[in-house]
């Protein structure tokens, strides 16, 4: 069955249909508001006095002191290091190939599973060790620790 879904954008001020987004900024914070043509014209009229008295600033690129130190944070950095250590060719910066990231994640999950199994075996071994210290006979509370009485 074919369906058509229509989204109607309403003015955020008066609910008029057919609104369009209008962006503006104040105190370093950018805002967007959906306004009808009438309300957008009102906003522009109100701001015109301030806009004409102000100075426009463009988006400037900060001038750094050179190349930033290479950082390898997070999973992608770990995956990149792992790939290089395992002879898989990856670029120093940029997007990590999906296949390499998938292999890294599979390896990481496998190692975590092995660690969990090792912890479970360790706990199991300790429990077995505790049982063998006192034997399989539970303590009878007679002060002998469950040992048979001497004849």
Contact 81, 108 (CB under 8 A): no
CA distance 19 to 39: 9
CA distance 9 to 66: 46
Burial (Cβ within 10 Å: 0-12, 13-18, ≥19) of residue 98: exposed
DSSP 89: -
Q: Is residue 134 over pLDDT 80?
A: no
Q: What is the DSSP string of 5-46?
A: -----B-TTT--BS-EEEEEEETTEEEEEEE-HHHHHHHHHH
Could you tell me the pLDDT band of residue 53, with boundaries at 50, 70 and 90?
A: very high
Q: Which residues pair with 26 in a beta bridge?
A: 29
* pLDDT (0 to 100) of residue 63: 59
pLDDT tens track for 20-52: 999 988 888 899 999 999 999 999 999 999 988
Rounded to two decimals, the pTM is 0.38
pLDDT tens track for 83-99: 888 888 888 777 888 88
Compute how many other C-beta atoms are within 10 angstroms of the C-beta atom of residue 105: 12
Q: Is residue 19 over pLDDT 80?
A: yes
**Least confident piece of the model among 18-22, 40-44, 75-79, 141-145:** 141-145
Higher-confidence position of 125 and 145: 125
């Amino acid at each position: 069955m074919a369906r058509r879904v229509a989204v109607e954008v309403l003015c955020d001020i008066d609910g008029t249909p057919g609104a369009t987004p209008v962006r503006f900024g104040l105190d370093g914070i950018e805002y967007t508001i959906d306004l009808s043509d009438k309300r957008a014209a009102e906003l522009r009229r109100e701001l015109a006095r301030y806009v004409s008295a102000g100075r426009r600033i463009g988006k400037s690129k900060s001038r750094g002191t050179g190349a930033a130190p290479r950082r390898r944070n997070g999973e992608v950095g770990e995956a990149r290091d792992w790939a290089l250590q395992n002879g898989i060719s990856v670029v120093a910066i940029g997007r990590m190939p999906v296949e390499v990231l998938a292999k890294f994640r599979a390896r990481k999950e496998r190692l975590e599973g092995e660690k969990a199994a090792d912890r479970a075996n360790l706990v199991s071994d300790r429990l077995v060790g505790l049982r063998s210290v006192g034997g399989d006979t539970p303590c009878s509370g007679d002060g002998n620790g469950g040992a048979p009485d001497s004849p």
